[in-house]
Structures are given as C-alpha cells and as structure tokens.
Chain A
Amino acid sequence: MSTPLQQEIPGTSSLPHRYGRVTPSIMAELQSLLGQDQVFTDPDKLQAYSHDETSIEDYGHQPEVVVFPRSTQQVADLVLLANRYRIPLTPRGAGSGLSGGAIPLFGGIVVSLEKMQRVRDIDYENMTITVEAGMVTNDINNVVRDHGLFYAGYPMSLETCTIGGNIAENAGGGKAVKYGVTSRYVLGLELVTPSGEVVRLGGKLAKDVTGYDLVHLIVGSEGTLGIVTAATLRLIGLPKATCDLLVLYATPQAAISSVPTILTNGLVPTAIEFMDRSSVEASCRYLNESLPYETCGAMLLIEMDGSDQAQVEHDAEAVGELCLQQGALEVYVADNRTTRERVWSVRRNIAEAFKVYSPVQSLEDIVVPPARIPDILPTLAELEREFGITIPCYGHAGDGNLHATLVNPPDMDMERWHAVEHEALEILYAAVTQLGGKISGEHGIGLKRKRYMAEFMDPVELKLIKAIKQAWDPLCIMNPGKLFDPE
C-alpha cells in the first residue's frame, strides 16, 4: 500500500486543499499534549489502524498518526488542535466494525479510545453504569454480573468490541428481539464536539424531553458528530435461565413464516436466528455436526430466557409446539451449557465455514419489516441464478435483519467479481427498499455502503442528514467521508 498522502482516493481528488497534513511541528504538539508514548507513526501501527473487519484491499487506508488519549480533556485538546490545522480525525474503538467506519479515509489522526476504559460509576439503585468509551462491552457484564445485573445491548462480536464502537454504530446483535439494540440502553453521553467542547447529554433519567433527543442522534452517527468519551448505560436484571430451540424446516419459507406466528402469540424470545439451507449445510459440514441437516431446507434458532427455569422451559415448549404446528420437521431442545453451545455453534460458524470455501465475500446487513422476510428470499435465489454466485442467508429473523452474504466463487476473477457484486447489490437493495426496508440494520454505512445510501435514501432525508453534519462540524474534520462524500 502506498503512503496515504500520495494515494489518490476516488472522489477526493477535488478536495486537496481541504485538510492540513500532520507536519513535524504538529507531531511535536501531539506529543506534548499526550506524551510521547501515546503517539505512533511506525509503519506497523499505521498498518494495523488502517482497516477494520472489512477487506483491507478494498477499503483500507493509512492514517498519518495514531494517538491514544487517556482522558476526556486530552481528547478535547486533540480536537482543538485538529481544528487549528484542519486535520481530519477518525475515532476508533476495537476496529471490529463491518462497514469501514473507523478507517481514516483522508489520513490525518486516528484517535483510538482503547486506553480509556475505566468504570466511572456503578449505581445499583438507579441500575446504571457509567463507563469510558474504550471499555470492552463484554467486560461490562463481567463487572455487573455478580450483582445480578446485565447490560443487554450486547452485539455478536463477543469478546473484542468496545462500548464506544457499539454506540457509534448503534450495534444490534443476537438478543435484539427481546432486548432491542444499543440505543435502548444509552441514557447519557459525554461527548467532545467537533469544535472541541465537552458536553454531557442525557443522564440517569428514565424520561427526558428537555430539548431535542441529542443522545439518540449521536448513537448510530458513526463518529461523524463528535467523539463519545463516556456513556451512562441502563442495566437490567440478569436473566438466570435460558433455553434454546433448534428448529428444522423443510423450506426457508416455512421457517420464516413461523416467525410472525411466534411473535404474535405473546411469547417473546430473546433471539430468533434464521439459517437457510446453504448456511446450515456449510456450517454443519464444517463442524462435522451430525444433525439431520441434509433433509432440511432451513433452521431457526430460538432462544428464550427469564428469571425462572421452569417458566422459561414452559415458554420454550409453547414456542416449540407452535413451530411444530407450523410444519417444523423437528424441534431440538438445548437447556444446558453443553447443548446450548452445540446449537449456537451452528449459527456462529456459518461465516467461518464460507470463508474456507471462498475468502472473498460481501457481508450484507439488509433489514426489512420482520414479516416481510419471506418476500426477500426469492430475490436472493434469483441473484444466485443470474450471477452464478452463492448467497447464504442467515441472521436475526426476529428483527427482519438478514446477513445475506455474497460469496465470490473461487474461480471468478476479482474484476468480474466487483462488477457482479455491484450489480447484485443494486438489485438486492432495490428489492429491499420496495419492501419498506433499509440497506443496513446494524453494521452501518461507513465507507462500504455510502454510494448505495445516496442512491436508495429519500433525498430529503439525505439533505437533512447533511445539514446536521454541516451544523455540527462545519470544518468537516470529524470522521469525514463516512455515510456520504464531503462536498
């Protein structure tokens, strides 16, 4: 990869005058602000912070410098400095994003919040925790578990992701059917604005209509409206009992069709995960799993949880009965550690199984009204036929959020693949929009989907979004080039 400032970035060559470079004197300022040991320019570090979980070849871009602030004050000082010299800033959590949100498209400074991971306050009476943005989300639950509490806005990437990244992307995850996504649990934020001011939004409040709801404007803004340095999060009682059902169906339609039936019967699963035939087959083969997957066209993985084991098992049985009434071939029950791990590993290993077949993929994140999922499946089948690619489809059926994944056949060259990917996505997104859906449910727009957002979003909405950005960040230094191209 060439050095950042020499590289031509598509769509940015008209903006060479916009941003300043990190000169040796600015480096010296950064070092005096943060300390020498928190400022990095060595090639390994720049390389490591040039990408997230998206393809490094397609989206990677090197920063000029990576910094590790340790306090809100340091972040604010950094932002003021960036304002003075018009240096683009890219806030970053653990780099486990799936849309390129933490990639420094215009070089400049990557602001990693990894070193800010203190718990500032645990308030058991109000059931809140206030943590710094770099705290690993999983660790929040390790801290509060012993007190019988639970942070439920918990995405799938398990061990690595940070709460700051979750907030930037409004991350969802496997338990959203019952618990919702990150935004439901964010009560308050500490934010460094693009002009370098520190502001506290919201608080430990169950209700708050004092002014615009800026907390929830920030959640999901992909780091374009400021740098979140800390958050006050809502905690709930820790569910003590869990029971999973692995349900086999003859066809994907049969599987998907029983989802609304379950949801409208007053039973609230924690998760309803859908896996189509090719997902199940790839994963089961990869795992050497002996379940009778050959005879089934799709599976649902349904999780129930609650405070009482007997109640949870009773509810799970009711859900299982509904599935059988809806034509399920078989319902397996996993109510202990061993069996739960086994059924979830079928779901968790789908992506990995396909990576063995072909590492080149486009992981999609379409979302439609939950009851419309059956209507999107024919489009996927058609795309497979038309382009000769495989599109395993799995995801959070209870939320209408599917990770249809376009897999490059190993024999297709990259040039052809990029053309096919683009054409197929155009068709897919058009169909999703037709159904009242959106192109991303929980991964975000970032770099990866911005051209499609411009195409499929209502132009008025896009105009409003740009107006907000302009008002908050007139110099356009805060994570520029995400969601849409700067003008």
Chain B
Amino acid sequence: MDPDTGTMVREGVDSIVNPLDLYAIEAALRLKEDHGGSITVLSMGPPAAERALREALSMGCDRAFLLSDKAFAGSDTWATSRVLSTAIRHCGAFDLIITGERATDGDTGQVGPGIAAWLGIPVLSHVSQLQLRDTSCLMATRLTEEGYQRLEVRLPCVLTVVKEIAVPRLPTLRGKQQARKVTIPCLTASNLGLDPETIGLAGSPTRVVKIFHPRVAREAERIEAREEAQIRQAIDRVLEVLDNQGFLTPKRDACDDRPYESATQQIQAEHALSSVDDHARLRPQGKKEIWTLAEYRGGRMDTTSFELLARARPLADQAGMLVTAVALSAAITDSDARMLIARGADCVIALESPCLADFECGTWSSALVTLARDQLPEIILAPATTSGRALMPHLAIMLGTGLTADCTDLALDPETGDLLQTRPAIGGNIMATIRTPRHRPQMATIRPHSTRPLQPDTARQGCLIRKMLDPQPADTRVKILGLDCESHDFENLEAARIVVAGGRGLRKADGFRHVRALADALGAAVGASREAVDRGWIGYPHQVGLSGKTISPDLYLCAGISGAIQHLAGIRTAKTIIAINSDPHAPIHEVANLAIIGDLFEILPRLTKAVLQVRQSDHLVAGTENATRGDI
C-alpha cells in the first residue's frame, strides 16, 4: 500500500489473474465452445499486467487489451469502471461482459455493476449458472442469500460470476505457445479520449484518509484434549463458554433473537406511528438526511434494515440530520414502517410497485435515482448483501458519486462533517478509512451483522411517505423467473448468530454429519472452508472466507479448519471463536478465543450430545412452568 495515497502499489507485484476472474474466463470459454464467438479480455493495471492477460489468452481467449497509463493510477471503483466501460466501447461490438464477483485484494465487487451503469445495460451479479437461450437471450441463476434466483436477460448485459459457474481450466503448453504470438495493444487515456482529470486518483470521488492494521485483541485459551480426562474438561469448558454467552438457553431478548415479530406487537399496541398528515412537521425541510435501505427477505423485513438504522441514528443525532429509511417492495405495511421508526428512523419512504417485489438491479437503481435526485440525501447506506453490493455501485455511477464497500465502522469527520467510512481490505489484513470529500451523496454498504439493531423505542415518532412508483416500468430486458431454495444450503450464513463450520479435517463429505449435528443442536448455520467446498463435500453457499462469505456471528465454532489467511479474512469480525483442531500449530488456534487441540471426531459428537442434554433439561424446566400456568 502507498502510505501517502492509501492506494495499492501494483508495480513489482507478481501479476496474476484475480482468482475470481478465472471463473469469468472459464464461463466465457465454455460459451464459446458451445456457441462459437470470440472472447476479448481486458485488464487495467501496470505494464506487468500483460502477464495476466497472456495467461487468459493461453486458456483460450482470442484477444487482449492492456489499459495502462499513469493517469489510471489510484482509480477507485468509480474511475475504474469508467475507464473499463470506455475501453469496452472502444474495442468494438460485444454481446456479453463477464467479470469475477470481486477482486481478492480490493474486495469491493463494485466494478462489474459500475460498468453496466456506464454502458446502460442490465447487470446480474453473483451468477452461478448460465445458458444461452438464443443469440439475444440468456438464462441465468443468481446465488443470493435466500436461494438461487432464476432469470432471463436480454443481451448485451453484464454478469458477475461466482465460483460455482465452472472450474477454470489450466493452460496447456500449446495454449501458452499460442498466447505468446498474440500482440497485446496497450490503451492509454488519450487512446480512449479520457480527460486525465476525470480518471485515476484525480477523478476518483473517494479518498483514502488512512490505512491501519486492525487490532485483534482476543483472550486466548488453549486446551489440550487428547486424553479422556482432557476431552471431558474441554467439552465442559466449551459448554461453559456457550452458556456464559447465552447460547444454551436462548434468552427471549427481542433485540437479539427475534427482532421482528415481538417488537412489532409492542408498537402496534402503543400506536406510536403518527399520521401521515404530520409529514411536514416531522420531516422539517432543509435538514440533511441519512438514507438507509430497508430490504425484504423471504417476505419479512430483513434484520440488516434495522442494523443500518443503528448505524445512522448516532451520526444523525451528532450532526442534526434526519434518518430516512427507504423501503422498496410491492407493498409495505404500516407495521413494517412502525418497526423502522421504533428502531431509529425519523421518516420512512415506502417505494411501492409490483416491479419492486423482487430485486432487480437496474429497476431498483432507477427507482432510487429519481428519488435521490429529487431529495438530495447527504448519505445513503445499504447492507453489503448480494443485492446491496450490486445495487449501490450501479446507483453510485448513476448519481455520479463515490461508494465504499462493506464498511465495518462509520463516523463523522469532526472538521468537515464528511462521513468517514472504515472497511477491511486485503483479506482484512489492513483497515482503510475512506472519505468522499467533494461528491454527494456519500454512499457506503455496511457489513451485515457487524452491529446490533437498536432496542425498539415504542415512543418514537416518525412519518411514513408512500410513493407509488409512476408506471415507471421495470427493466424489460430482465425477467425474474423464480427462486429455488434448498433449506440447508440457504440458512443465511451472514445473519446467523452461531456458525458451526468444518474443513479439510473432516476427511470426507460424510464428516459434515458431525458438524451438521452440532449446528442443529445449537440452532446454528453450517459453514465450511474453501478446501472442503473445493473437494465437493458441501455446497459453495456455505463457504466462508476471502472467496466465499464474510461473516460476523456471535460465535464461530470450527472443527478441522487449519485457518489459512484467506479463511481468517471471513471470520475476523466474529465475536467469539472456538477452534477444534488436532494440529497444535494450526493458525486457527492463534485467533481463537478457545483453542482445543484434539480429535474432532472424538470431540464433536460428544459435544453435540452434551449440548442436547443441557438444552433438553432446560426445555423440561420451561415445559413445567407452562403447564403450571395452564393449570391456573
């Protein structure tokens, strides 16, 4: 990292194809094998990036362009997508643009949707399957938190693909020899007719204020669990930790457990929502606003909607701003709006239209563009979910402003009042604080579950503004066909309070039986390391880490995971980590709060049994109480 600009120094680094872009290349190669056509590969980077382009050519791509110019250096995702989209136009006609889901260094995932916004074509993010229906139409499957969304999209369009799409091929000797013969033209800013002031560091709306190393201060406790007595002791200790944190006897804490229903009931009882007529009084004109996005997931308002309010509320109080929750759906109920107000919103804008029932990036983006241009919010926050991370970069391009991905901390600069957006980068090895000094709104996506919703305050007052979208049509180029969800693969890892995960130490697919049993006993979601997923033992939706999901559960209990740095990147913000691994030198033990050195096949089943016993005895107690009450 450059200590002055906070941008990445790309010179002198072994230039490889971003591992996630290899999936994009492979997807393109398979389309070409089945349907013909030609593949052009573009890379923006220093001259050394030519090596990465040759690798792509050796895999079977037809031609390559290197976008290299000092003026490109220091580009943020806004400027990068601007340069790339200009170059794409420059290179001639195209039918399909495929990108990796994100880069494993910057880890934003913003460039793909950004390109689509610049080019004015549809974008599907997180595509896991695709099939060309005819020369103008493509069937695709998107991997979302809820399941596999099936869509149909007209060409041209942009796809960002995930690892499930295809296993990349290895280049062959013949391919390498072929690739060496190809000339790779280098395109500069002047070739592309780009004003250097509008690209690179100069043209980037965002600025890195500082970079620093995250402080990981975990209490560490190690237990050797090889002999019988030690194993018993280890299991007792795990139970103790679980119990101390309330995982064995789930408290009926409205905030923690079921933020949605219980709190709604309270508010309905109190009639906290003022009438819509109070709009003017409650939403004073001239006050700056922080917008938070409210999303529905599986027909319910998603917890992330409340988490965003918890982020926005203190900032708004500090600077005298209003917090406005913007909810998009087919229909938004009053009680949902009340919930948002009770959780910190001053105002709820309900954008309602049948075409907003399901997430479609272009449709949602254009609905919000109209609203944002009209009302000029100071800040827009969205969850860093699959939809948020596609929508926001698209919206940022449309609004001509900067965006910071996957923030874990927000603050206001005491001098300028600018939003200071702090996010992990390079696999969480560094933290970067980013500012958008000259552009408004300031936009950020926030890592799900990295904060807690506020306790619902039934006395809070707020207003609800319903906006029926004008018959502003959905993007007709995209048609949503349906959602497939197999319950176990889609248990929403990101939102789970407890995740039990397994890795290579499980030895085979059957080993996940032990992980699943403990997860079921604890009411937890199941995670996995990349190695376990790559070996085909469990599906990609379970993958945790740099090339999978980044999660922040209250408890991460993993067995047979060594803790490669890429995996640790995905769990750095977990509150408590318990690791079971027989290798005393496994890096996972270095980050775990409780490190158990022992055989998982010995420990997991017994731990599961112990958890079930504790829980069962609690149920008995609870059952008795109910019975007594019933009698009275």
Contact = CB atoms under 8 A, between A and B. Distances in A.
A20 to B, nearest CB: 30
Contacts of B174: 331
Contact of B55 (A47, A290, A336, A343): A336
B171 A333 contact: yes
Interface stretch (A218-226, A317-325, A419-427): A317-325
A336 B15 CA distance: 8
Interface in B328-380: none
Given A333-B58, A342-B170, A287 B534 contact: yes
A330 B172 contact: yes
A309 B124 CA distance: 39
Contacts of A290: 167, 169
Interface stretch (B16-24, B137-145, B485-493): B16-24
Contacts of B585: 159-160
Interface string A328-370: 0011111111110011000000000001100000000000000
Contacts of A288: 534-536
B177 interface: yes
Contacts of A342: 170
Given A288-B534, A337-B14, A317 B172 contact: no
Contact of B19 (A160, A286, A291, A338): A338
A86 B171 CA distance: 62
Contacts of B170: 246, 291, 332-334, 339, 342-343
Nearest to B227: A44
Interface in A53-77: none
A291 B167 CA distance: 10
A245 interface: yes
B508 interface: yes
Interface in A281-298: 286-288, 290-291
Nearest to B58: A333
Contacts of A160: 585
Nearest to A355: B507
A332 B172 contact: yes
Interface in A389-443: none
Chain A interface residue bracket vs B: 20 to 34
B620 interface: no
A317 B19 contact: no
Chain B interface residue bracket vs A: 20 to 34
A321 B174 CA distance: 9
Contacts of A356: 507-508
Contact of B16 (A321, A331, A336): A336
A286 B507 CA distance: 9
B171 A332 contact: yes
A324 B173 contact: yes
A466 B14 CA distance: 53
Contacts of B177: 317
B210 interface: no
A337 B16 CA distance: 8
Nearest to B534: A288
Given A159-B585, A336-B16, A337-B14, A317 B173 contact: yes
Interface centre among B17, B58, B171 (most CB of A within 10 A): B171
B440 interface: no
A355 B224 CA distance: 24
Contacts of A159: 585
Contacts of A338: 16-17, 19, 22
Nearest to A94: B585
A320 B174 CA distance: 9
A69 to B, nearest CB: 22
A317 B14 contact: no
B226 interface: yes
Nearest to A288: B536
Nearest to A331: B173
Contacts of A337: 14, 16
Nearest to B509: A288
B171 A321 contact: no
B435 to A, nearest CB: 33
B176 interface: yes
Nearest to A328: B173
18 contacts: A159-B585, A246-B170, A286-B535, A288-B534, A317-B173, A317-B176, A321-B173, A331-B173, A332-B171, A332-B172, A333-B171, A333-B175, A333-B176, A334-B171, A336-B16, A337-B14, A338-B19, A339-B55
Interface of A: 44, 47, 159-160, 245-246, 286-288, 290-291, 313, 317, 320-321, 324, 330-339, 342-343, 355-356
Interface of B: 14, 16-17, 19, 22, 51, 55, 58, 167, 169-177, 224, 226-227, 507-508, 534-536, 585
Given A331-B172, A336-B14, A336-B55, 8 more contacts: A44-B227, A160-B585, A246-B170, A288-B536, A317-B173, A320-B173, A332-B173, A337-B14
- A-B interface, 10 closest residue pairs, ranked by CB to CB distance from nearest: A288-B536, A331-B173, A320-B173, A332-B170, A290-B167, A336-B16, A288-B535, A333-B176, A356-B507, A333-B171
